[in-house]
Amino acid sequence: MLHTFVALVEDKPGVLTRVASLFRRLNVNITSLTVGNTERESISRMTIVADAAEDRAHRIMASLYKLENVLEVDDVGRQSAVVRELALLKVVCTPQTRADLFQLAEVFHARIVDLAPESLMLEITGSASKIEGLVQILVQSNHKILEMARTGRMAMRRGHHTSRVVEALSDATPRTESALAGKPKLVALDLIAQEDHA
Amino acid sequence: MSNSAKNGSDNMNSSDPAMTSQPTRLTGAETLWATLVGEGVRDVFGYPGGAILPAYDALRKFPIRHILVRHEQGAAHMADGYARASGRVGVAIATSGPGATNLVTGIANAMLDSIPIVCVTGQVSSKVLGTDAFQEVDITGITLPVTKHNYLVSRTEDIAPALREAFRVAQSGRPGPVLVDITKDAQQNSAIFDFEAAAPAPYRPHPMLRADSTSIREALELLRAAKRPVILAGHGILHSRALEQVRTLAERAQIPVACTLLGLTAFPASHPLNLGMMGMHGESWVNTAIQQADVLIACGMRFDDRVTGALTTYAPNAKKIHIEIDPAEINKNVRVDVALIGDLKEVLETLLPLLPERNSSPWLNAISAMKGDASVRDIQHLPDNGHLYSAHVMHDLWRETNGDAIVVTDVGQHQMWEAQYYKHDRPRSLITSGGLGTMGFALPAAIGAKVACPDKEVWVVAGDGGFQMTSAELSTIAQENLNINIAIINNGYLGMVRQWQEFFYDKNYQSTPLLSPDFVKLAAAHGIRGAHVRKRGEVVSTVQEARSHEGAFLIDFHVEQEDSVYPMIPSGAALHEMIRRPSENPLVETASEA
């Protein structure tokens, strides 16, 4: 079965190797792995989806905790959680097929983020099954998918739940204005440009 | 200490004990040693080389004894033996490249047996990292799966924090090896050294540690109702320093104790409740007791495949209570009914006041009946038929040393015979490679043990095969003038492999007959005295000679060549399905048929 773990880890070089190496050592295949920043300086968040027997979740979690850089692990597959994935799909698009693709995009709440004479790019966010649904209908409607990129799952528990471990760590300072002080400031124009590209 | 006096005029004045109490500008090399001194290190085992030379250059300013090894594997094993004998962190130093890779076997050995060691390796300069520079190897990558944690340090100011954290990681929770790889330029540059400021941040809480009142109550219920309980005593008792608590548990509830190989010294062999070693070469009554038990209380042990036999048939009627600090060990091999996850000593201190005294005599009597007359049979009084058996050697060694020596064994038949016939009453008096089964461990580990405990009598017990893997360390013994006694159990074979070939491969003794040098002459070449022993009658007098001799002494015991270790559970068989001692053997089965 697929397990979904959220691991809060120190943002240091080599941490990804340690986590990946652990799954290799346990002979467990990683289906998807998403890493990014969190609300705290120096802490990264990994969402790891792994295919393993149901009773192995405890061992995987306990083994993750043995890594010094891992602060907290949550088995969100067993909790009520919001699980999302983002995919970009580049599809062949001629003037004849454009209308159909626009309709499909609307039904799936996908956005068209690039339009070229012979192709378009769809951005879709949602559960894995929703993305797979769009892919399936594209294929069945004889639309040629030129490229697909998927982020893998990201997950967050519903409700007020947050990490008690991270709260207990004194050195994990929340992101504040001062924490960002040393970083190059983004001018308003950049922000708008980023929004445009999004 | 004399070094620091000699260098009193040195302008660095690094040996000033105040150095660790106030911030000072030091080179990275000096920071390395100053941090080790601050962590309480007095002895290190190492081998110099290019990338670690700045550190060696600074060593003379510090009150640290450096033992020059002959191979870096020896340095890691010595640090390991040092840690096992003393309970303190052992430290090994090596250079980059081959120096670092030679440590790997020793690090893996410490990992599998949860031994706290810190290995410091030199690394090429940060400017050339990743360029395949001379003697460059990615040692943090190589050791990633065999260390608890490792660090690549390329800035001088990171040396002290990394080392201090390494010491904490090595000792905390379930102990283990940590490697700190320091680039040459980080050793050469200087930075402000502040020992206190380099202290690691408070340890993160571990949400999976759990020994709450519900679990404690469940454990107590099982113990109260138990008719045939057995304590499984493991290495964790030593790590947690819970010897008293385990003993109280056993005595108050009258529970017999079976020990793992590494747990042998965690419960006194002479204690009436001690059954002895469990597992593949455990005595029949020990394994039978476990198979018949209705409650097993596992204390700091991990149900290794060498102690469970086939998992499907393991202790089928027993409820299992597992007290363990590593949550990853819970339900790994054996599914348990109650898991108390935490420090063994703390868990037992919570549990013991709630545990009523109980009587278990029918069960204890039943186990005694299984032993038959074995416990009173004294192999020393068996007739001397001219053969020298390894068991004789172990028994006589135990008697002559009053069981007081630290015995450091290698891996193989002699290791099992030692575990069976040398009765250990003192904690940490048996040092042996359990999890990894590393041949060549004994000689260097004994050097570590002797350096850690110079007032203790230390014996190496090794086979003729394993001894030759690291016998170059005889030079280290000679150079350091260490009083270590060495017993080689010489049967001309790689004995344990030969035994498996005999039992499971139709006596096809492929590549197991072994030609060895004259070990006594080899010792003599190192200025170490020695003697051959070929007869039973010579054992005691030669052991006495070795003990009374000032300095190292090597005894080459030429024992029966095709003797086997009994009882034995073939791998994959159930714990009670053991191969018993053949009746024609003079060292017959020491228990009646169960």
H helix runs in B254-389, sequence order = 284-292, 305-308, 344-351, 361-371
Q: Is A17 on the interface with B (CB under 8 A)?
A: yes
> Which of B516, B233, B267, B277 shows the shortest CA–CA distance to B409?
B277
Same domain, B416 and B345: no
**Within a domain: B198:** no
- Interface contact A68-B169, CB threshold 8 A: yes
Give the residue on B whose Cα is nearest the Cα of A21: B145
Question: Alpha-carbon Rg of chain B, whole angstroms?
Answer: 25
Residue bearing tokens 């004294």 = B378
A41 to chain B, closest Cα gap in Å: 16
What pLDDT sits at residue B385?
A: 75
A81 to chain B, closest Cα gap in Å: 20
Q: Which amino acids of B are annotated catalytic?
A: 72, 134-135, 184, 496
Is pLDDT above 50 for A192?
Answer: no
- Interface contact B152-A25, CB threshold 8 A: no
Is pLDDT above 90 for A31?
Answer: yes
Per DSSP, the three-state class of B166 is helix
The CATH number that applies at residue B31 is 3.40.50.970
B3 to chain A, closest Cα gap in Å: 37
Same domain, B442 and B535: yes
What pLDDT sits at residue B19?
A: 58
The CATH number that applies at residue B218 is 3.40.50.1220
- Per-residue model confidence as pLDDT tens digits over A116-174: 999 999 999 999 999 999 999 999 999 999 999 999 999 999 988 888 777 776 554 45
Beta pairing, strands B90-94 & B65-68: unpaired
Per DSSP, the three-state class of B456 is coil
**Within a domain: B574:** no
Q: With 0-12 CB in 10 A as exposed, 13-18 as middle and 19+ as buried, what is B519?
A: buried
Same domain, B404 and B353: no
How many CA atoms does the CB half-sphere of B276 hold within 13 Å?
A: 26
Question: Alpha-carbon Rg of chain A, whole angstroms?
Answer: 20
Helical packing angle, B72-86 and B98-112, nearest 10°: 30
Give the residue on A whose Cα is nearest the Cα of B332: A59
A71 to chain B, closest Cα gap in Å: 7
Neighbouring residues of B574: CB distance < 8 A, sequence distance ≥ 6: B291, B309, B310, B313, B314
Is pLDDT above 50 for A185?
Answer: no
- Interface contact B149-A68, CB threshold 8 A: yes
Give the nearest partner residue to B207 out of A67, A165, A171, using CB atoms.
A165
Residue bearing tokens 């040195």 = B10
End-to-end CA distance of chain A: 34
Q: Is A21 on the interface with B (CB under 8 A)?
A: yes
Q: Is A27 on the interface with B (CB under 8 A)?
A: no
Give the nearest partner residue to A62 out of B152, B205, B328, using CB atoms.
B328
**Within a domain: B496:** yes
> Which of B64, B23, B25 shows the shortest CA–CA distance to B156?
B25
Same domain, B158 and B217: no
A90 to chain B, closest Cα gap in Å: 37
What pLDDT sits at residue B2?
A: 40
- Interface contact A165-B330, CB threshold 8 A: no
Give the residue on A whose Cα is nearest the Cα of B175: A66
Is pLDDT above 80 for A186?
Answer: no
Q: What is the pTM of this model?
A: 0.91
Same domain, B339 and B428: no
Q: Which of B142, B149, B204, B325 to mutate to test the interface with A (most CBs of A within 10 A)?
A: B204
CB atoms within 10 A of CB B43: 18
Neighbouring residues of B468: CB distance < 8 A, sequence distance ≥ 6: B516, B517
Distance CA B119, CA B68 (A): 15
Give the nearest partner residue to A58 out of B206, B326, B331, using CB atoms.
B331
Same domain, B122 and B256: no
Residue bearing tokens 């990894």 = B436
Residues of B in contact with A163 (CB under 8 A): none
**Within a domain: B419:** yes
**Within a domain: B67:** yes
Read off the amino acid at residue B450. Answer: K
Distance CA B91, CA B107 (A): 11
Q: Is A171 on the interface with B (CB under 8 A)?
A: yes
**Within a domain: B570:** no
How many CA atoms does the CB half-sphere of B172 hold within 13 Å?
A: 17
Same domain, B399 and B326: no
- Count the domains in chain B: 3
Distance CA B462, CA B235 (A): 22
Read off the amino acid at residue B80. Answer: D
What pLDDT sits at residue B387?
A: 83
Beta pairing, strands B24-27 & B190-193: antiparallel
Q: How many CB pairs under 8 A join A and B?
A: 49
> Which of B55, B89, B94, B56 shows the shortest CA–CA distance to B74?
B94
Per DSSP, the three-state class of B521 is helix
Same domain, B143 and B95: yes
Window 69-88 of A: residues touching B by CB (8 A cutoff) are 71-72
Per run of 10 residues, the mean pLDDT along chain B (length 594 residues) is 39 47 91 97 98 98 98 98 98 98 98 98 97 97 97 98 97 97 98 95 82 93 95 98 98 97 97 96 92 97 94 96 96 96 96 91 92 56 77 93 96 96 96 98 98 98 98 98 98 97 96 97 98 95 97 97 91 86 52 33
Sign of the Cα pseudo-torsion (B9, B12, B18, B20, in order): negative
Same domain, B25 and B171: yes
Same domain, B430 and B528: yes
B326 to chain A, closest Cα gap in Å: 8
- Interface contact A168-B328, CB threshold 8 A: no
Same domain, B182 and B260: no
**Within a domain: B99:** yes
Distance CA A76, CA A82 (A): 9
Same domain, B400 and B360: no
Sign of the Cα pseudo-torsion (B197, B199, B204, B210, in order): negative
- Residue B52 DSSP label: G
Residues of A in contact with B331 (CB under 8 A): 55, 58-59
Residues of B in contact with A17 (CB under 8 A): 141, 144
Helical packing angle, B72-86 and B442-452, nearest 10°: 50
ipTM above 0.85, yes or no: yes
Q: Which domain holds residue B410?
A: 390-558
What pLDDT sits at residue B3?
A: 41
**Within a domain: B383:** no
